[in-house]
């Protein structure tokens, strides 16, 4: 493992600036909603700021979370990494994560997360991802989304896009439903200084993932928010939101890690939509 001058504080500081820039860009795209800041602290060490928008012009509920937490490494995390407590007693984790739920069912849900994790034994890695969950699939939107991500990934390494899109398809999958969560995206984890990559080059990639978020979603907001919809479309939106809830509570690693490390529950569950519906044994109408 090569030494790097890139500190955890520098990474955390950049994540703070990313949160601020994304909120400013989305407020401009929404044209009315404002993010309200809610600072919090964690008893075991660290804290963060949750920025929440409710009842904007386009965004019904949106959250952009920043966190930097540290302390004793949770037993569940050590078990996942195949480590014993004496090997890495302390951890540091910093991240920015966000989910946007629109009023109009023709505007997709979007999620993005970038994160950095470091342990007292010197182990570190980056992780993250961005994915799109339309209520109604628009092939042109899906192509634009993936084309943008591919161009961004290819600017760093040609192996990134095919590897990370396959990882996203595997990760954003609701196993108990045998359904994909949306139209995919990219997902990556445990990016370290290996195979010619450095800490600096991994961070530059993570930065570009973060920068891609706001322009992408602003595009979908402006393109689709004036499209017509009615009660039928709203009912379908509520059902699709229900699937999103199921994934986040049952399978999402970030949700599990936040709860395992005694994170702030309100911020961890910010990713849940403002409303959702479950109908028993529901089957969509043919051709709907």
Instruction: Give the tokens for residue 5.
Output: 């001058």
- Around Cβ 134, how many Cβ atoms within 10 Å? 20
Q: What are phi and psi of 183, to 5 degrees?
A: -105, 20
Sign of CA dihedral 282, 111, 161, 107: positive
Bridge partner list, 51: 37, 64
Q: Let me know: does 105 contact 124? Beta carbons within 8 Å.
A: no
Cα–Cα nearest to 91, from 124, 48, 49: 124
Beta strands 124-133; 185-191: pairing state: antiparallel
- DSSP bridge pairs for 115: 95, 127
* φ, ψ of residue 70 in degrees (nearest 5): -155, 170
b/e map of 68-82 (b: 16 or more CB within 10 Å)?
A: bbbbebbeebbeeee
Residue 233, both tokens: 């479309």
Which H or E element spans position 24? helix 8-30
Q: What are phi and psi for residue 165, nearest 5 degrees? A: -70, -40
Active site residues per annotation: 111
């Amino acid at each position: 493992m090569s030494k790097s001058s890139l500190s955890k504080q520098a990474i955390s500081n950049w994540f703070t600036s990313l949160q601020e820039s994304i909120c400013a860009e989305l407020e401009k795209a929404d044209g009315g909603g404002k993010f309200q800041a809610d600072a919090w602290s964690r008893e075991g060490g660290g804290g963060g700021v949750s920025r929440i928008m409710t009842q904007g012009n386009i965004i019904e509920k949106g959250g952009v979370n920043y966190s930097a937490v540290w302390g004793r490494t949770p037993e569940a995390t050590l078990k996942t990494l195949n480590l014993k407590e004496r090997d890495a007693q302390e951890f540091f984790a910093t991240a920015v994560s966000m989910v946007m739920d629109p009023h109009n069912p023709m505007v997709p849900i979007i999620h993005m997360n970038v994160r950095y994790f470091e342990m007292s034994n010197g182990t570190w890695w980056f992780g993250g991802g961005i994915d799109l969950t339309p209520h109604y699939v628009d092939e042109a939107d899906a192509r634009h989304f993936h084309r943008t991500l591919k161009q961004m990934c290819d600017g760093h390494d040609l192996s990134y896009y095919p590897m990370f899109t396959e990882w996203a398809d595997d990760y954003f999958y609701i196993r108990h439903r045998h359904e994909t969560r949306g139209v995919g995206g990219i997902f990556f984890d445990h990016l370290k200084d290996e195979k010619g990559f450095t800490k600096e080059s991994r961070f530059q990639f993570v930065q570009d993932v973060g920068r891609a978020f706001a322009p992408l979603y602003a595009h979908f907001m402006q393109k689709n928010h004036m499209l017509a919809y009615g009660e039928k479309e709203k009912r379908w939106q509520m059902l699709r939101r229900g699937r999103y809830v199921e994934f986040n509570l049952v399978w999402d690693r970030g949700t599990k890690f936040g709860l395992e490390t005694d994170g702030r529950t309100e911020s961890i569950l910010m990713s849940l939509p403002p409303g959702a519906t479950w109908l028993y044994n529901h089957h969509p109408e043919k051709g709907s």
